[in-house]
Structure 1
Amino acid sequence: MQMTGLAEGHEQAVVDLFNRAYGRPLSAALWRWRFLQNPVPGRPAKLMWDGDRLVGHYAVSPAYLRVGEQSGLGSLSMTTMTDPDYAGRGVFVTLASELYQELRDRHEHLAVWGFPNLNSHYGFVNRLGWSDLLHLPMFVADADLLAERCGAIGAATVTPIAGGFSAKHTGAAESLLTNRITTVERRPEVLDWRFFAHPVFRYDAFEWERDGIHYYMVARLVDSLREEGETELNIVECRIPPDRRLLGQLLLGVLGEYINRMPKRLNMILSVHDPLSVEAERLGFIPLDPVFRFGVLPLRESEAEIADPRRWRLSMSDSDIF
């Protein structure tokens, strides 16, 4: 078998492999968006071939990572697939090990991180040296209860972000950082690509200005998996200070934008080390299932602080499934 990188012309082979591996189709538009249109440079991927047959695929998606005051490249671990006829031959571990070593040799990447599922979790931790950092619950709030608790606070007047993100929005994200925080950087071109160029999901972005800082939230209305016929609002991005009153005002303001299809619940993903999680609980958000595993592989010996779970600030938008 032969190992190669990702190149033009491989798209159909990747789509066909996904169908064989998972028994469902892969959107070619979604694959192109994630791996070919990402504004962060690089296409780190390894493919395993048996002749002309693609039998294995592992790729990561480049992102800008902020570790305290340092900024550099990192990658979100992405699509893992192995042809069922080649299961048990170590294809995934071979591809991932080779890709990680290539990233180390380039001296560009600080780390690879991701949200392993049950099938891949063992391989990442026990075969590839990942550190298990966090179990992230889904913070869930009943919309009516939230409105009742925040009624005395009142709703903020939010404005839809229609013309794309700009430095004023990323400035808000920057204002929340300290030298002890690790997070995926928010840059205007990346935010536009993530939320306004997605070929499948529709997102709504809102801003609110205070003292010259433009805080923002990004939401996605989804069909409820808990209650048939109902909708829920995923708060996929929330870049505000850990302030209960402000969080309540903005959530009420955003809810008001969905008056014609009011969601039953609101969902967020937050680390328990994020001060915003405490403020969310005070507003009625409850940590529930599903719980998502988050892990990381530092690629430089000097970057041990990347493996400190207390430093990470995460949201739904850091995962590809939301």
Structure 2
Amino acid sequence: MEFRPANPADLEGIIACLKRSLGETSSPKTLSYWNWKHVDNPFGPSPVLIAEDNGKIIGVRAFMRWSWRWSGKKYNALRAVDTATDPDYQGKGIFKKLTMQLLEKCAQEGDHFIFNTPNTQSRPGYLKMGWVEVGKLPVRIRIASLIKMVRAYITGKVNSPDVDPVLPIYHLPTALKNFDDSMARYPRPTGINTIKNKKYLKWRYVDCPIQHYYGYLDGYDQEQMLMIFYPKVQKYGVELRICEVQSNSPLALHKLKRAMRIIGQTFKPAYWSVANAGDGILTQAIKEAGFGKARRIGPVLTVRYLQDNLPVDLKEIDPWDATLGDLELF
């Protein structure tokens, strides 16, 4: 059995290993999806390690590149994502060997830390390999209709909104085309946040093959507000999930309220959700728009340092200014 870095010629074998190990239920096991995630990523191609036995790929471990910013400094990060072991080879420690070897390689290359949001089944394995549980992402909720929430919970019946995905007013490619992404690049007042620009937003939300995202843009030049969102059917009704909201405008509250009124009339959610930290104009607008106190109900974040003496403590949730879109599973 050999462990080695993957190369483009291995892609067919990697996809086959993923299919044998995981099936098609969790995410697409296709070349196009793999390339979107691991090759076209604007933060750079993913480091991938494979296990091979007699020319057959029997194990895969991929870390997706990510870039975070804190106090004006860039940190090169990795996101622990795709991993698979051929069913005929499970129980031989291949997952751990691939993971630890790839961690060592990335640390030697200067990457700063690795993070992910593992589920309850996989989390213990990561903790044993040195990951630390940071906590749940703080999320703010705004109830649009308590009656809808109660009815959905009691009846168990929730209908997804029937909205044309290319409706011009919510057409994300058009919104991004007209968006001044200097606002996305603008450092947030506090917290560690993903480095973003139009290229990132297009890759993450327009090109994403597993979820359709809507966009809404209000205003011109430096008085803009961009919202990226989608409806999600939950047991308490339709959640209108705000994955990104960008604005430095003093009119942010007015723009946010207007956007929510227009979007709400179309999608008719039972409630809204957003993750937003810091103490800037936008955070204050979100609070005043009726979103409640930030509560730790989002995905569980875990982290592992690859370098010593980082100047920011990533092992506590407070420094993290992550959006729901940053930490969604994909």
TM-score category of the 2 structures, normalised to the smaller one: 0.7 to 0.9
With normalisation by structure 2, the TM-score equals 0.77
Residues 295 and 247 of structure 1, relative CA distance in 2, 3 Å threshold: farther
CA contact (8 A) 1:115 1:295 kept: yes
> What corresponds to 1:118 in structure 2?
120
Residues 291 and 190 of structure 1, relative CA distance in 2, 3 Å threshold: closer
Partners of 1:170 and 1:138 in 2: CA distance? 24
> What corresponds to 1:264 in structure 2?
270
**1:237 maps to amino acid:** E
Establish whether residue 299 from structure 1 lines up as the match of residue 309 from structure 2: no
Question: Which aligned pairs between 1:56-135 and structure 2 lie closer than 5 A?
Answer: 56-107=59-110, 109-127=111-129, 129-135=130-136
Query: How much does 1:186 deviate?
Result: 0.7
> What corresponds to 1:173 in structure 2?
184
Query: How much does 1:66 deviate?
Result: 0.8
Partners of 1:195 and 1:2 in 2: CA distance? 37
Partners of 1:251 and 1:226 in 2: CA distance? 26
| Superimposed CA distance per residue, residues 147-175 of structure 1 (whole angstroms, 9 cap, x where no aligned partner) | xxxxxxxxxxx986544647964322344
**1:319 maps to amino acid:** L
Query: How much does 1:106 deviate?
Result: 1.5
Partners of 1:176 and 1:39 in 2: CA distance? 19
Partners of 2:195 and 2:177 in 1: CA distance? 14
> What corresponds to 1:148 in structure 2?
none
Q: Secondary structure at the match of 1:301?
A: coil
Partners of 2:311 and 2:103 in 1: CA distance? 17
Q: Which moved more, 1:16-25 or 1:62-71?
A: 16-25
Query: How much does 1:67 deviate?
Result: 2.2
With normalisation by structure 1, the TM-score equals 0.79
Establish whether residue 250 from structure 1 lines up as the match of residue 256 from structure 2: yes
Partners of 1:186 and 1:76 in 2: CA distance? 16
Query: How much does 1:253 deviate?
Result: 1.2
> What corresponds to 1:43 in structure 2?
46
**2:132 maps to amino acid:** S
Query: How much does 1:95 deviate?
Result: 1.1
CA contact (8 A) 2:218 2:225 kept: yes
Question: Which aligned pairs between 1:139-158 and structure 2 lie closer than 5 A?
Answer: 139-144=140-145
Residues 282 and 5 of structure 1, relative CA distance in 2, 3 Å threshold: same
Partners of 2:300 and 2:290 in 1: CA distance? 25
Query: How much does 1:4 deviate?
Result: 2.1
Establish whether residue 5 from structure 1 lines up as the match of residue 5 from structure 2: yes
> What corresponds to 1:312 in structure 2?
320
Partners of 1:24 and 1:226 in 2: CA distance? 24
Give unmatched runs, 5+ long, in structure 1.
146-157
Question: Which aligned pairs between 1:211-222 and structure 2 lie closer than 5 A?
Answer: 212-222=222-232
Partners of 1:198 and 1:41 in 2: CA distance? 16
Partners of 2:88 and 2:200 in 1: CA distance? 38
Residues 67 and 137 of structure 1, relative CA distance in 2, 3 Å threshold: closer
Residues 121 and 251 of structure 1, relative CA distance in 2, 3 Å threshold: farther
| TM-align CA RMSD | 3.4
**1:305 maps to amino acid:** V
| Superimposed CA distance per residue, residues 206-247 of structure 1 (whole angstroms, 9 cap, x where no aligned partner) | 23348824332210123x1315xx54321111234699x945
| Superimposed CA distance per residue, residues 267-316 of structure 1 (whole angstroms, 9 cap, x where no aligned partner) | 33456x77849954982547789642102222221315152432110111
Give unmatched runs, 5+ long, in structure 2.
147-168
Aligned length: 302
> What corresponds to 1:238 in structure 2?
245
Q: Secondary structure at the match of 1:61?
A: strand
**1:120 maps to amino acid:** S
CA contact (8 A) 2:80 2:114 kept: yes
> What corresponds to 1:151 in structure 2?
none
Residues 20 and 66 of structure 1, relative CA distance in 2, 3 Å threshold: same
CA contact (8 A) 1:47 1:56 kept: yes
Partners of 1:236 and 1:22 in 2: CA distance? 27
**Which of 208, 217, 223 matches 1:207?**
217
CA contact (8 A) 1:165 1:192 kept: yes
Partners of 2:257 and 2:22 in 1: CA distance? 37
**1:297 maps to amino acid:** R
CA contact (8 A) 1:218 1:236 kept: yes
Residues 205 and 118 of structure 1, relative CA distance in 2, 3 Å threshold: same
